[in-house]
Amino acid sequence: MAISRKVKNALNGASWVRRMFEEGEELKKRYGDENVFDFSIGNPNLEPPASLKKALKELADNPITGMHRYMSNSGYSETRKAIAEYLNEESGLTFGENHVVMTVGAAGGLNVVLKAILDEGDEVVVPSPYFMEFKFYIENSGGVIRLVDSHEDFSLNLKAIEKAIHAKTKAVLINSPNNPTGVIYDEDSLNKLGKLLEAKSQEIGKTIHLITDEAYRRIVYDNIKLPIAFKYYPHTIRVTSHSKDLSLPGERIGYIAVNPVCEEIDDMMAAIVFANRTLGFVNAPALMQRLVAPLQRNSVNIREYGEKRDLFYNALREFGYQVVKPQGAFYLFPKAPIEDDVLFVKQLQAKRILTVPGRGFGKPGHFRIAYAVEKKTIEGALPGFKEIADQYGMRKG
């Protein structure tokens, strides 16, 4: 076999998102882009804020000598200082620049953290539904994913998490706001999760890390305040990016922040910096580090995403779909009217509507809609959603 068995097996179960995206490209060639309603991939459609464009122009017009050279593997000192100041402001803790490592997006950051902490066979507990790439990230570092079900409203099932933790558990990985559901894990859940991890760490005689994927942390609706996980558990590691809040997914810029009261913090940071280098990232993109440093409190216009959520959610509910209202991110995760979510997604595809089967996120019987699209795309797709709903008799009387 020319490629590794591990990669071969992974390819066989590869991302449903990419599969649907590629099928969508074929439909667009056949019918034209404007006649295909593509909700398959969470690709931010808003432009970066004016503050970033202004900073980019200023830097281009006034280049800094050596600005494209290598720097410390952890990133520019001034960028990490700016992020540490922001973290102190939001958490009340005492972050320093040495508690922050700049990364090639959140995906790069997660791979770095997992490489730094996992030994062969270590398990990572992940609530389901989940972002399907987590499985591959964990396995890349020799780990094993251990999925646990969430409640019907997709909130954390703490009893299920407790039951899943045992001697081989090295970390719990959560994603809030969540992809694919848009659910935010509330303050009470994080507080109880922190206490649970403290107790289980003592019980098994080793530290269990809490890794928080917060790539959507600024995409939050209805004046909800996103809880700060650092406050509830000392061994928390945040991984995030500016792909969504500043609409920079193609620039691959993010960071890892480790709670400053985490035990053996110096060893942890050294391991993360080492993994960042040896995984081949070397350092995060230099230009983007300079641009995002002063923009830690900036974001795109979240209101636009909120308006699209409301338009889509209200229409689907009116048509009879069962769906939990998203509190953040830019996804809806309705229940399919039949058990076979792949078949249902194919039926939507016949209406030139592209979504992703829930089984790709560990939750068969559902499907994901990514609404980071133009409003006209949503409006154009709604008649098709209604027709399908009517065919199944879903519409409320």
What per-residue confidence (pLDDT) applies to 144? 98
**Residue 395 has what DSSP assignment?**
S
CA 262 remoteness from chain centre: 23
CA 141 remoteness from chain centre: 19
What per-residue confidence (pLDDT) applies to 28? 82
Max Cα–Cα distance, the chain, nearest Å: 68
Whose CA is closest to 126, among 166, 177, 161, 176? Answer: 161
Strand segments (E) across the chain: 37-38, 100-103, 123-128, 144-149, 169-175, 209-213, 236-241, 254-258, 331-332, 353-354, 356-357, 367-370
- Hey, what CATH topology would domain 66-295 get? Aspartate Aminotransferase; domain 2 (3.40.640)
What per-residue confidence (pLDDT) applies to 136? 95
Q: Kindly report the CATH class assigned to 5-48+300-391.
A: alpha beta
CA geometry: angle 345, 350, 353, nearest 5 deg: 65
Assign 70 to helix, strand or coil.
coil
In this prediction, the residues of the chain whose per-residue pLDDT falls under 70 are 1, 11-18, 396-397
With a CB cutoff of 8 Å and minimum separation 6, the contacts of 153 are 183, 324
Residues 254, 34: contact at Cβ < 8 Å?
A: no
How does DSSP assign 212-260, residue by residue? EE-TTTT-B-TTPPPP-GGGT-TTEEEEEESTTTSS-GGG--EEEEE-T
Domain boundaries, the chain: 5-48+300-391, 66-295
What per-residue confidence (pLDDT) applies to 1? 67
What per-residue confidence (pLDDT) applies to 397? 47
**Residue 99 has what DSSP assignment?**
G
**Residue 121 has what DSSP assignment?**
T
Distance separating alpha carbons of residues 243 and 44, to the nearest angstrom: 8
Other beta carbons within 10 angstroms of residue 205's beta carbon come to 7
